[in-house]
Structure 1
């Protein structure tokens, strides 16, 4: 059966006026955790965030794909200051497990963030261009955690694969990919037991190591294959994706449908640059279109 496949990224939700930008997530995280500042300190890098006029990190310039790639790469010097140079004269030992547990607030913030975005949908109107674009023969691979396609555009849920889960299709898959970047490394190298003289330090370090390992984002191409089995995909259109992560899925699709025509929508100049690299990386039969 011939079908058109749409790949939906976070830019699609943002274009529909949902509060799903990385900036909104950072605000949810800050609301939930008194240690929000501590968490952000561990992920500050000029490669991901720009600096404002006061030379402080401007979180509004970050994007989801960059943050996920960064999850395995916190500022380990700050971690050393907590676990190696912990000053027991001023802070109780119980603070160590508390610090390592504070990372897990990210997961809680993610669910609240998705729920708040979904709560907006009843007050929104669908975009006419998408109503026209989405036909009866369309299938969707949705990388978002929201139900925008189902609730705003009334797409049959059977035609949508939430490849990373959704609020009503848990678990939510969130974390850093393995193998997408040449400079991948294992956080275990930075959380090996050292000359630690307190059991609380060893426990805190082990909890931190376990949490980093839990953030590995494994690709489930089998799940994708089951969704599009027996389909004849002639065209694949990407909307709102950053073209910077999840390459294993796109490699799988290209090999499965080598003759398919790809449409790579872009919004910003950086999107266009990434789309061009994406096209070249996989040798796609693709055209680039500016999303208006």
Structure 2
């Protein structure tokens, strides 16, 4: 008996004419929340089209050393002040408050943007096998429910849904340990002991480079960026029963996924459980060819085909009624 699993990504909604790309989100921010987009650019630097097209992963790309150094330079403790001891934490507090505010505003804006997205186009409807199928969707929208009539009991919105009160799951894939490795500075070797003047200069530079207030600012920046990591492991554990139930799936349809690093663990889990399934993977104009090939090779999948969603548009949408003579 055939059992189908549909894995739905943002490309599915884009196919249906929904303006749900991250660049659409950027444009919405420029129009509706210009101060937020300004804060993003001040923190992350140049945020071009390429940056926004990989928005989730880019949340983990903050140049922590540069960001913390800039804040620390504006919050240097006054060593002559009677309150100097209290000032060592000023840079840390500034980083914490700035990043917390930025990410809080960004997530609030993201939800507001999702809630106002346009409706899908009926003429883009594709053929789905609804009865008995299971759906794993990474989208927050209800395209499956509203356009295709798929019962909610058959759908797992693994990153949240517009009807939920929970915060949408959004984030990068860089862990805190990896972030800390990124800020390790390889200090120059000390000069030889026979040059006291050079050695003293080196010692003073090292003290400048490792001032306490800057270290605290760096730690705060690492924690702030790490807080935006997508909780993939927790979600896999939370929905373990769903994934375990996929052992008998015979056909897997992956529509609109980018095969990005941040969502790879979900796809890897499916591939490990449904080992004998036949795969059908959509790829818009070959944009994900390398990523798809790597995934196929990694899991030694031999029974698969790559298609474009436009080729699956329902035959009913292609019929043209001509007026009678």
Report the TM-score, using the length of structure 1 for normalisation: 0.76
SS at match of 1:18: coil
Correspondence for 1:76 among 50, 53, 64: 64
- Taking the TM superposition and a 5 Å limit, the aligned residue runs for 1:26-175 are 26-30=26-30, 31-32=32-33, 34-44=35-45, 58-59=48-49, 62-63=52-53, 66-76=54-64, 78-86=66-74, 99-100=98-99, 101-117=101-117, 120-121=118-119, 124-127=120-123, 129-130=125-126, 132-169=127-164, 170-175=166-171
Distance in 2 between residues matched to 1:76 and 1:242, nearest whole Å = 27
Q: Which residue of 2 aligns with 1:50?
A: none
Distance in 2 between residues matched to 1:4 and 1:268, nearest whole Å = 25
Q: Structure 1 residues 103 and 22, CA, compared in 2 at 3 Å: closer, same or farther? A: same
Deviations 1:149-208 (A, max 9, x none): 1122221111110111123232311111258xxxx822586499952559xx95x66654
Name the structure where helix makes up a greater proportion of residues.
2
Distance in 2 between residues matched to 1:69 and 1:24, nearest whole Å = 17
SS at match of 2:156: strand
Distance in 1 between residues matched to 2:300 and 2:174, nearest whole Å = 22
SS at match of 2:249: strand
Q: Which residue of 1 aligns with 2:253?
A: 237
2:4/2:129 contact within 8 Å kept:
no
Distance in 1 between residues matched to 2:55 and 2:122, nearest whole Å = 29
Name the structure where strand makes up a greater proportion of residues.
1
Deviations 1:13-58 (A, max 9, x none): 111111211112113344335152231244357xxxxxxxxxxx54
Report the TM-score, using the length of structure 2 for normalisation: 0.69
Q: Does 1:225 align with 2:240?
A: yes
CA shift, 1:5, in A, is 0.5
Q: Which residue of 2 aligns with 1:286?
A: 304
1:13/1:148 contact within 8 Å kept:
yes
SS at match of 2:62: coil
CA shift, 1:262, in A, is 0.7
Q: Which residue of 2 aligns with 1:277?
A: 294
Query: What is the aligned-residue RMSD (CA, Å)?
Result: 3.3
Distance in 1 between residues matched to 2:212 and 2:51, nearest whole Å = 38
Q: Does 1:177 align with 2:170?
A: no
Distance in 1 between residues matched to 2:304 and 2:44, nearest whole Å = 35
1:32/1:105 contact within 8 Å kept:
no
- Which structure 1 residue ranges, 5 or more long, are not aligned? 46-56
- Which structure 2 residue ranges, 5 or more long, are not aligned? 77-89, 186-208, 311-325
Q: Structure 1 residues 187 and 114, CA, compared in 2 at 3 Å: closer, same or farther? A: farther
Distance in 1 between residues matched to 2:75 and 2:182, nearest whole Å = 24
Q: Structure 1 residues 280 and 186, CA, compared in 2 at 3 Å: closer, same or farther? A: same
Q: Structure 1 residues 247 and 188, CA, compared in 2 at 3 Å: closer, same or farther? A: same
